[in-house]
Structure 1
Amino acid sequence: MLAVSVALVVIVVLLMLEVPVAFVFGLASFIIVILTGRDIEFLIPYAYQQESSFALLALPLFVIAGSLMGASGISDQLVRFVNSFVGSIKGGLGAVTIVTCALFGAIAGSGSSAIAAIGSMMIPRMVEAGYPRSYAISLVACSSVLAILIPPSVAMILFAITSGLSVAACFLSTIIPGVLIMAIYVVMNIFQARGFKDLEVEPKVTFPERLGKIGRATKGAFWALLMPGIMLGGIYGGIFTPTEAAAVALIYTLPVGFLIYKGLNMRTTTDAFVEGARNTGAIMMMLFFLFIMSRAMVQENIPRDIAEFMLSLSDNKIVILLMINALLLMLGMLVDDTAGAVLAAIVLLPVTNEIGIHPIHFAAIVGTNLGLGNVTPPCAPLLFMSGAIGGQTIDQYIKPTLKFMLIGHLPVVLLVTYIPDIALYLPRVLMGVQ
């Protein structure tokens, strides 16, 4: 446990100093290797073998497809589609932002992609319509978490691979929690919008005019909405694996971006591939070191020791789950969702196995907790990214953010934790998970 304690201190200190995550885990993994006396010549081939898995190939494909979709102009079509339904309601533009982030998550699978594509468009638009800038920033940041929960999710891919679970089942486990959070945010937004006195609202239109607007918006967004349908329908219809679905998504994106939405050209496509390659490289380097760390920890029986320690504190399942939630929240506060998903699978999955928590249920607990942690300071990568796009400091937008976190997201975390059927219903119905 000394090795883990030292490594944990190093991780926290270096992350607070904003050292790149991959280098942080690289140093921490070698500290564990040295202090435990493990053979690095065995651990490096193991990490390489883990990174060579077919399932992990889905990661770069989804990341690059998300980058291409962000550059293709799809976000504008999604905004128009959602706005055609709720644009004339007071607070409708906020609801558009929330739902569009969820839809974009079903395409890109990344919270940061959702902020980059939707936040850069919707924050200025919301401010122009009379929303406080601080509110617009917090709404985009909290809504971007939906991209982690609505499949395909990069974090769930990594959790499934690390823990040896079905990627498709892990995808399904977070759909209902994601929809619940989205619905709560929409209701909260509509109630809060009543207090914005200068809020502009689209003029009311007749029912036939509304139908015409919805029809035109649906036609414009058809190809964007078809993409998640093809991917998820193919996965759960048994047509292709999640990795093959990622390849289909990438191939599908190119003609749609070039010929239909026309946001892609040679320059934007090259930039999207470079950005996707850069993001993938950073994730893969981080994973390499995490796999080294995880193998050394398993050889030292550290996950089992952690499980025994937590069980020694209490044998009450409710209390243990509460402690696990607290640890996951702190984990999400320090690292992004990808690193957090791998660490949760390594360290905490053995604990949940000991107390009889279904692994797919735990996947949903991990997803909802890491999403909350990613907008919780001190690190809060999604929150700070939204603030940078909106041009404010955290002291200006932390108050509205806390409202969404405490009233909207946290209750869903607790519901998912203590009502397993929220996570397990879809995997059982669609995949026969027991």
Structure 2
Amino acid sequence: MLWIAGLFGVFLLGIPISFSLGATTLAGLLGMGLPLEVIVQRMFTGIDNFAFVAIPLFILAGNLMAVGGISKRITTFSEALVGHWPGGLGMVAIVASMIFAAVTGSAIAATAAIGALLISEMISKGYSRAYSASLVATAGSIGPIIPPSIPLVVYGVIVGSSIAKLFMGGVIPGLLMGFFLMVANWLISKRRGYVGREKRASAAELRQGLKDAVLALLMPVIIIGGIVGGIFTPTESAAIAVAYALLLGGLVYRELSWKKIAHAFIEAAITNGVILTVLMTASLFIWFMTVKMIPQSITQSLLQVIDTKWGALMVMNIILLIAGTFIDTTSALTIFVPLFLPLVKTFGIDLIHFGVMVAVNLTIGMCTPPLGVCLFVSCEIAGTSLREMFRDLVIMLIPLLILLLLITYVPAVVTWLPDFLGL
């Protein structure tokens, strides 16, 4: 337990997560007298998993969508669909984020792409900078819930669950997340006078918007349909997403230049490098905890004060919500999932239910200071500060917390669709 306390002490010093995990775990393993070759081998085998190939590919697909005109057409169609509602541009941001999420699985990619297209327009139409940034950041958090989902890929590898089943478990919670945010946006817009477009889009405008976006809208249908139909694996779907984005942006929309493609690849490589470094050191951390039986010790300690499944879920939720504000999603998954796994199994909590609950928890963390990466992206685009955003951000987090409680205590919200599909 002293070692765990030391690890979190290093986190609080602001040292990057990968270095914190690597250094503290290395110290513990060397203290056990293990040769360095074994340590290096464990780090390599930790990322030597075919499922992890999906992570850089989904990130790349999101980057290509952003620069290839795909996200722009999705946004234009969303505006024709819901732009006339109260808070119209806010509704557009939420709907576009949901569609974008169904291809990339990344909150940061969704926030950056949709924010770049809509935040300046929202501000020009009278929305406050703080509200525009808060809404786009929370809407972007839908990305890791609606399949495909990068956090669920990482979780599935850690616990050995079916990634396809996890993906389907995230469908209903992701749609509900979008619905709850739309209700919140509608209520706030009514109160503040954020109006939509003057008149509803005509049938001709809707047809034109659909015609322009139909190939982009087919992207999530192909990916999710292919996974459910067993045509390809979740990892293969990531490669298909990249190929589709290249063909659509380059040959159909003709908005992809070699310069844009190179930039998309470089950005994906940088992001993936950070994630893989965390996964390597985290795999070493997980192995060390297993050898020292740390998860079992923590479980025994918690069982002394928790005697029900629902109490265990509440305690884990609170810990994850707090952790998500300080630790990035990948690191939090690799640290806390192995710690909680014995407790989850003790109370017979469904692993699919638990996985989606963890993902929702940590995506809320992506919208919460001080480490809310989606906030930093939307703040930069909107030209505002976290301090100015705080009030609006708290309001927009309320529907997400309500959804988290619903998912936690009504497991069927997560498990019904995978069971119905026979996964």
Q: Same fold (TM over 0.5)?
A: yes
Structure 2 partner of 1:351: 343
Assess if the C-alpha contact under 8 Å between 1:4 and 1:32 holds in 2: no
User: Is 2:85 the counterpart of 1:89?
Assistant: yes
> 1:392 aligned to 384, 389, 393, which one?
384
Offset at 1:318?
A: 1.9
> 1:29 aligned to 16, 19, 25, which one?
25
Q: After superposition, where does 1:135-150 map in structure 2 within 5 Å?
A: 135-150=131-146
How many corresponding residue pairs?
423
Q: After superposition, where does 1:254-403 map in structure 2 within 5 Å?
A: 254-403=246-395
After superposition, give the CA deviation of every residue in 1:149-195 in whole Å (9 maximum; x if it has no partner): 11111111111011111111111122211111110111111111123
Offset at 1:342?
A: 2.2
Which residue identity does 2:382 align to in structure 1?
G
User: Is 2:216 the counterpart of 1:224?
Assistant: yes
Offset at 1:30?
A: 2.1
> 1:204 aligned to 199, 202, 214, which one?
199
Assess if the C-alpha contact under 8 Å between 1:3 and 1:31 holds in 2: no
Distance 1:103 1:21 in 2: 31
Structure 1 partner of 2:187: 191
Distance 2:332 2:213 in 1: 33
Which residue identity does 1:201 align to in structure 2?
G
Instruction: Go from structure 1 to structure 2 and tell me whether the alpha carbon gap of 1:128 and 1:26 turns closer, same or farther (over 3 Å shift).
Output: same
Offset at 1:38?
A: 4.9
Which residue identity does 2:296 align to in structure 1?
R
Distance 2:393 2:24 in 1: 32
Q: After superposition, where does 1:175-190 map in structure 2 within 5 Å?
A: 175-190=171-186
Assess if the C-alpha contact under 8 Å between 2:62 and 2:104 holds in 1: yes
Distance 1:3 1:252 in 2: 47
TM-score normalised by the chain length of structure 1: 0.94
Structure 2 partner of 1:71: 67
Instruction: Go from structure 1 to structure 2 and tell me whether the alpha carbon gap of 1:11 and 1:34 turns closer, same or farther (over 3 Å shift).
Output: farther
Q: Aligned to 2:192, what secondary structure does the other structure show?
A: coil
Assess if the C-alpha contact under 8 Å between 2:166 and 2:356 holds in 1: yes
Offset at 1:386?
A: 1.4
Distance 1:373 1:176 in 2: 20
- Unaligned runs of 5+ residues in structure 1 are none
Distance 1:189 1:167 in 2: 32
User: Is 2:9 the counterpart of 1:9?
Assistant: yes
After superposition, give the CA deviation of every residue in 1:132-157 in whole Å (9 maximum; x if it has no partner): 11110100111111001111111111
User: Is 2:412 the counterpart of 1:421?
Assistant: yes
Distance 2:227 2:35 in 1: 40
Instruction: Go from structure 1 to structure 2 and tell me whether the alpha carbon gap of 1:391 and 1:265 turns closer, same or farther (over 3 Å shift).
Output: same
Distance 2:36 2:410 in 1: 42
Which residue identity does 1:269 align to in structure 2?
I
Distance 1:36 1:189 in 2: 55
Offset at 1:326?
A: 0.7
Structure 1 partner of 2:237: 245
Assess if the C-alpha contact under 8 Å between 2:101 and 2:107 holds in 1: yes
TM-score normalised by the chain length of structure 2: 0.96
Offset at 1:391?
A: 1.1
Structure 2 partner of 1:409: 400
TM superposition outliers: structure 1 runs of 4+ over 6 Å? none
Distance 2:191 2:57 in 1: 43
Distance 2:331 2:116 in 1: 26
Distance 1:166 1:133 in 2: 41
- Unaligned runs of 5+ residues in structure 2 are none
Deviates more, 1:83-92 or 1:261-270: 83-92
User: Is 2:117 the counterpart of 1:126?
Assistant: no
Distance 1:387 1:58 in 2: 29
Offset at 1:35?
A: 5.1
Offset at 1:233?
A: 0.9
Assess if the C-alpha contact under 8 Å between 1:3 and 1:35 holds in 2: no
Distance 1:130 1:30 in 2: 53
Percent of aligned pairs with the same amino acid? 34
Instruction: Go from structure 1 to structure 2 and tell me whether the alpha carbon gap of 1:40 and 1:308 turns closer, same or farther (over 3 Å shift).
Output: farther
Distance 1:339 1:258 in 2: 35
Which residue identity does 1:77 align to in structure 2?
R
Assess if the C-alpha contact under 8 Å between 1:138 and 1:383 holds in 2: yes
Q: Aligned to 1:431, what secondary structure does the other structure show?
A: coil
Which residue identity does 2:13 align to in structure 1?
V
The root-mean-square deviation of aligned C-alpha atoms, in Å, is 1.6
Assess if the C-alpha contact under 8 Å between 2:25 and 2:284 holds in 1: yes
Instruction: Go from structure 1 to structure 2 and tell me whether the alpha carbon gap of 1:385 and 1:29 turns closer, same or farther (over 3 Å shift).
Output: farther
Distance 2:31 2:188 in 1: 53
Structure 2 partner of 1:156: 152
Deviates more, 1:5-14 or 1:245-254: 5-14
Q: Aligned to 1:203, what secondary structure does the other structure show?
A: coil
Offset at 1:343?
A: 2.3
Offset at 1:203?
A: 2.4
Distance 2:198 2:370 in 1: 42
